[in-house]
Amino acid sequence: MIQQVHPAALELHNLTVAYRQKPVLWNIDFTLPPGQLIGIVGPNGSGKTTMIKATMGLVPISSGAVKIFDQPLAQVRARVSYVPQRNSVDWDFPVNVWEVVLMGRARPGQLFRRYSREDKALARQALEQVKMENFARRQIAELSGGQQQRVFLARALAQQADLYLMDEPFAGVDAATEQAIMELLKSMRAAGKTIIVVHHDLQTVNEYFDWVVLLNTRLIASGPTMAAFTPELLYQTYGGKLNILSQVGDLLSQKQHPLREKTPKAP
Ligand SMILES: Nc1ncnc2c1ncn2[C@@H]1O[C@H](COP(=O)(O)OP(=O)(O)OP(=O)(O)O)[C@@H](O)[C@H]1O
Ligand SMILES: [Mg+2]
């Protein structure tokens, strides 16, 4: 019998996405391994959210293809969980924490499904994992930003997916919460999940991620963090914006310094 090798978690093939004819992702092509913590890194407007949305079928693709676990999204939708960028969600929607987390157990096309005992147990467990069980009846609009973020993480956990796409899960959360979320993500990885995280803090990339995708409309790099998260590639990704690159001062000062312009030779 032929041994089944683990399929890639996510493949993008020559993916181009445009808003009003203007490409914001250009010919992106990469393959991401399963069972890893993967960081998506790039400046504001570089197409990170668009890439996640295109993967989830939420924005039209101009050309190219998306494959998840070797299949089109429609075949594996239940195995994929998406945590949107927080500021993209309407928080005034009148719904409480418990209802949001239970939505993680909803099935496509079954909006008014009755939730089973198991669904409720999974939702409760997810709320405990993010330490929000005492807020179950609270309206979502009445939570702090960091608390909302944890509730949306709980919804994703309740879904029991295999691939998680998280758009800036650490935005606006305090250091202790970030550590707690990170521990959770590591335990998910230990359970074989693939977690793709859009991430802005360059300081923590080395520590957090096994694999990094550098994006700036085009793909700059995709590879193990050791190989892809280099000063040279960051310089390309951020177009030499020094204020951003100063965040990675440690990293840059360790290696040869690509930021310093070569002293022009005397004529
Ligand atoms: N619905 C839309 N209509 C038109 N243009 C859009 C739309 N959404 C995003 N864009 C544009 O597409 C580009 C990529 O946006 P995207 O949200 O993917 O960037 P991002 O990398 O997630 O940025 P950030 O770090 O600020 O979240 C930007 O130039 C943005 O202005
Ligand atoms: Mg974004």
Domain of residue 49, CATH code: 3.40.50.300
Tell me whether residue 260 is in a domain: no
- Nearest atom in ligand 1 to the alpha carbon of residue 51 is 18
The H-or-E segment that residue 238 falls in is helix 231-238
Which residue has its alpha carbon closest to ligand 1 atom 29? Answer: 45
Selection from 135, 145, 133 nearest residue 95 by Cα: 135
Residue numbers of the domain that contains 220:
10-254
The CA 224 to ligand 2 mean position distance, Å, reads 22
> What total of structural domains would you count in the chain?
1
Name the pTM for this structure. 0.87
Residues in the chain: 267
Which residue has its alpha carbon closest to ligand 1 atom 10? Answer: 19
The CA 47 to ligand 1 mean position distance, Å, reads 6
- CA separation, residue 203 to residues 25, 87, 146, 188 (Å): 25, 23, 20, 22
Q: Which two tokens stand for residue 137?
A: 């009846």
Which of 50, 58, 83, 198 has most ligand 1 atoms within 8 Å of CB, for mutation? 50
Which of 20, 41, 46 has most ligand 1 atoms within 8 Å of CB, for mutation? 46
Which residue has its alpha carbon closest to ligand 1 atom 12? Answer: 24
Tell me whether residue 47 is in a domain: yes
Residues in contact with ligand 1 (CB, 6 Å cut-off): 19, 24, 42, 44-50, 85
Per-residue pLDDT of the chain (267 residues; tens, 9 = 90+): 555 567 899 999 999 999 988 999 999 999 999 999 999 999 999 999 999 999 999 999 999 999 999 999 999 998 999 998 876 666 677 889 999 999 899 876 666 678 889 999 999 999 999 999 999 999 998 998 888 889 999 999 999 999 999 999 998 888 988 998 999 999 999 999 999 999 999 999 999 999 999 999 999 999 999 999 998 899 899 986 645 555 565 555 544 444 444 444 444
Tell me whether residue 265 is in a domain: no
Q: Distance (Å, rounded) from C-alpha 34 to C-alpha 74?
A: 19
Contact residues for 107 (Cβ-Cβ < 8 A; gap 6+): 78, 113
Q: Distance (Å, rounded) from C-alpha 59 to C-alpha 50?
A: 7
Of the ligands numbered here, which is closest to the C-alpha atom of 41?
Answer: 1
Tell me whether residue 267 is in a domain: no
Of the ligands numbered here, which is closest to the C-alpha atom of 84?
Answer: 2
Tell me whether residue 262 is in a domain: no
pLDDT reported for residue 258: 43
| ∠ Cα 179 181 187 (to 5°) | 105
pLDDT reported for residue 259: 43
The CA 49 to ligand 1 mean position distance, Å, reads 7
Tell me whether residue 232 is in a domain: yes
Tell me whether residue 82 is in a domain: yes
Contact residues for 163 (Cβ-Cβ < 8 A; gap 6+): 9, 10, 68, 69, 76, 79, 80, 81, 193, 194, 196
Tell me whether residue 263 is in a domain: no
Which residue has its alpha carbon closest to ligand 1 atom 1? Answer: 19
